[in-house]
Structure 1
Amino acid sequence: MIQNISLVTVYCLDQTATRDFYVRHLGFEPRVDATMGEFRWVTIAHPNQPELEVTLMVPGPPLAPEAAAFVRGQLEAGQMGGLGLRVDDCRKTSATLAAAGITVIQEPADRPYGTEAVIRDNTGNWLTLVEPKPFTQQDLAAF
């Protein structure tokens, strides 16, 4: 029986730089950094959710060459989605990250489900910051 989600993938162009970005700016912890043949396995996790690791993958095998090229192009264009990150104060977190030089591509805005901002990581992934609030399906339909 499935117990939970334990691993998600974020594509990046430089595993070391992206790991360091998430650790330095977003509070993640490094977990695994291992080379297995020509493959490098790098994971990070947030200390508040240690059972969920994020693997930082460079576009390549097992993706087909065309798919890897597409993912690289999307990253370079800043068009890849990354993670949704729950925050306790979206406006303050967004301002703090902006002051640290992080690109904010959507300023904090009130939504039916909470306050949301979007930032970009060092490799082009957009990350959603959400300060959640209670909502109903009707709240979403009215938006």
Structure 2
Amino acid sequence: MKQTLSLITLVVDDYDTAIAHYTGALGFALLEDTDLGNGKRWVRVAPPGSSETGLLLAKASDDAQHARIGDQTGGRVGFFLQTDDFWRDHKAMTANGVEFLENPREEKYATVAVFRDRYGNKWDLLEPKA
């Protein structure tokens, strides 16, 4: 049996603003943007080269969902963007206005730095050790 984690929902305030952030500042690809009617859309984005897992950008529809924007993991790093070239991506993201919360560091497992997306969600940018 084979199973794949295909999508992770990320609650956002506006579809177009979220698409612009993830495709612009982070360099993700827009995989799908389908109108579902009544103001809902099916919006999928993924990092370049990602073949199995992406983000489903879901517009908050009530007060409880709005309250979760940017804090879906209680302030912990909740998303991990793995790269084959940490310094290339760190430089590009910094140039695109991405806020890194720390200087890059060398760990036993990876070169890593925590950044925040436009909503406040914490991410690790990491390049695993060989």
Instruction: Please give the TM-score of this superposition, normalised by the length of structure 1.
Output: 0.73
Structure 1 unaligned spans of 5+: 135-143
1:80-119 Cα deviation digits (max 9, x unpaired): 7452111233244323322322111122111221111111
2:53 corresponding residue in structure 1: 52
In 2 relative to 1, CA 3–83 (structure 1 residues): closer, same or farther, beyond 3 Å?
A: same
Deviates more, 1:41-50 or 1:91-100: 91-100
Check conservation: 1:10, 1:82, Cα contact below 8 A. no
Aligned-residue identity in percent: 31
Gap regions ≥5 residues in structure 2: none
Q: Give the aligned length.
A: 128
Residues 49 and 3 (structure 1), Cα distance of their counterparts in 2 relative to 1, 3 Å cut: same
SS in 2 for 1:106: coil
Aligned to 2:12: 12
Matching of residue 102 in structure 1 with residue 98 in structure 2: yes
The DSSP-based 3-state class of the residue aligned with 1:20 is: helix
Q: What secondary structure is seen at the aligned counterpart in 1 of 2:127?
A: strand
After superposition, the CA RMSD in angstroms is 2.6
Q: Which residue of 2 aligns with 1:124?
A: 120
| 1:1-143 → structure 2 map (5 Å cutoff) | 1-38=1-38, 39-60=40-61, 65-66=63-64, 68-72=65-69, 74=71, 79=75, 81-133=77-129
Report how far residue 73 of structure 1 moved. 6.9
Query: Any idea what SS the aligned residue of 2:51 has?
Result: coil
Q: Flag the structure with larger Rg.
A: 1
Partner SS, residue 42 of structure 2: strand
Structure with the higher helix share, 1 or 2: 1
Distance 1:81 1:10, change over 3 A: farther
Q: Answer with 26-35 or 88-97: which moved more.
A: 88-97
Provide the C-alpha distance between the structure 1 equivalents of 2:108 and 2:24, rounded to a whole number of angstroms: 31
Contact persistence 2:112–2:124 (CA under 8 A): yes
